C-alpha cells in the first residue's frame, strides 16, 4: 500500500508548513486527488487517520476533492471531463488524446492555528 508512504510525506509537508507559519496545530488538510493518480481515496483516508495521531495533524480533518480525468482529443479537438479511467475520446472514439488534468495528487490548502 503506497498510500502509507504518501500520507507520511503529506504529514511531513504539513509539519514543515506549520513550522514555517508558527502554527501549533493543523486543523484541516485539503487535497486534490486525480482519478488517474494511482491513489485509492478510501485507503488514503484510512492511512491519514492512522498516521495523523502522532503528528501536528492529530485533530485535522482530511478534505479530499477527487479530480475527474480531463482529456483533449488531438484528432477532433474536443476537451472532455471523464469519471472513468479511459483515454478514448467520447466524441470521436479516437485514442490520440492528451491528459490535461486528473493525474496528480496535490496539497491544496491547510488550516492552521497559531502558537
Binding residues: 2, 73, 76, 89, 92
- How many C-beta neighbours within 10 Å does residue 94 have? 15
| Residues making up the binding site for Ni(2+) | 2
Angle at alpha carbon of residue 61, lines to 59 and 67, rounded to 5°: 155
- Residue in this structure with the C-alpha cell 508558527, named with its chain if needed: 22
Where are the extended beta strands (E) located within the chain? Answer: 23-34, 61-67, 69-73, 79-82, 97-101, 105-114
| Residues making up the binding site for Zn(2+) | 73, 76, 89, 92
Name every residue whose Cβ is closer than 8 Å to that of residue 93 and which is 6 or more positions away in sequence: none
Amino acid at each position: 500500500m503506497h498510500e502509507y508512504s504518501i500520507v507520511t510525506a503529506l504529514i511531513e509537508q504539513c509539519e514543515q508548513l506549520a513550522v514555517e507559519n508558527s502554527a501549533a496545530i493543523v486543523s484541516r488538510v485539503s487535497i486534490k486527488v486525480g482519478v488517474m493518480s494511482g491513489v485509492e481515496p478510501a485507503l488514503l483516508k484510512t492511512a491519514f487517520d492512522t498516521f495523523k495521531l502522532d503528528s501536528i495533524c492529530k485533530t485535522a480533518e482530511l478534505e479530499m476533492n477527487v479530480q475527474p480525468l480531463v482529456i483533449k482529443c488531438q484528432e477532433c479537438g474536443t476537451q472532455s471531463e471523464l469519471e472513468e479511467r479511459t483515454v478514448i475520446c467520447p466524441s470521436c472514439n479516437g485514442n490520440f488524446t492528451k491528459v490535461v488534468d486528473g493525474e496528480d495528487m496535490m496539497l491544496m490548502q491547510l488550516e492552521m492555528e497559531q502558537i
